[in-house]
Amino acid sequence: MTVQKVGFVGLGAMGRGMAANLLRAGFQVQVWNRSPEPVRALTEQGATAAADLAEVFANEVVVSMLPDDATVDAVLHDPALLAAARASVHVNMATVSLELARRATALHAEHGVGYVAAPVLGRPMVAAAGELNILAAGPDALLDRVEPLFAAMGRRTWRLGTEPLQANTAKISTNFLLACAIESLAEACSLAEANGVRPTDLVEMLTGTVFPGPIYSGYGAMVAERRYDPAGFRLALGLKDVNLALAAGAETHVPLPFGSVLRDAFLDAVAHGDADRDWSAVAEATRRRAGLPA
């Protein structure tokens, strides 16, 4: 059965573009957000506004894009909401902990609502362009049902298993690796600067030789130029994801020694007022440790 009516919860920097792409693809989209301004913007593009979450869950499929475990729990994990839901499936596109993934899977099953995890790779501009990579996991029949939605929001869907937490595991692992890359770029740039080499020259050389690709070129330029605003991905969320990786490692007895270094660097950056800057601003903590000028 083809999905026509979609409820969308969470119109932050990522969710706005994702919901807009569903509208452009011809879906009937009903939106809900905790603050009203993004709702008004989407209704001007053709969406309808939901009076409450119960109205959202009356749609065929619900898609949510919320920032963290606490928000997902507070907004969506009301047993009464799920018990009354007419939606056949909820697609949670947030980056959440493995503990929440397990709990959400069980809670949805208890109330007869299908559950799919589908966190994404990409920044807000990528979301707006419909070029996200979508990391999806859940029962095959549910993934088949929501594939047209994924096609409208992303350029590729990576099916990673039949258990939702498999998608969350892949996303946490990816963000952990990205954080490691940013920290290593920051340390290399600080070493270069302390010894008279311009960080911009170092990054240009690196990305033209041994480290080509969007991560080292994109984040490398931001670190070298100390260009952290506006935030494509807030540093506070980066700290959250490092902590998610450490928690996942602890659950399965996988040591992540770099994770402790990253956590302390991100905490340093938050303590110095950089929580709302791009997560590449963690480089400022490295500069402070190196005694480089602010």
Task: Report angle CA 116, 85, 115 to the nearest 5 degrees.
Answer: 10
Whether 171 is a known active-site residue: answer: yes
Separation of alpha carbons 178 and 190, rounded Å: 18
* Tokens of residue 184, six digits: 């290593």
Catalytic residue among 108, 145, 171, 277: 171
Sheet holding 48-49, edge to edge: 48-49, 28-32, 5-9, 61-64, 89-92, 114-117
Separation of alpha carbons 174 and 256, rounded Å: 13
Which residues are identified as catalytic?
171
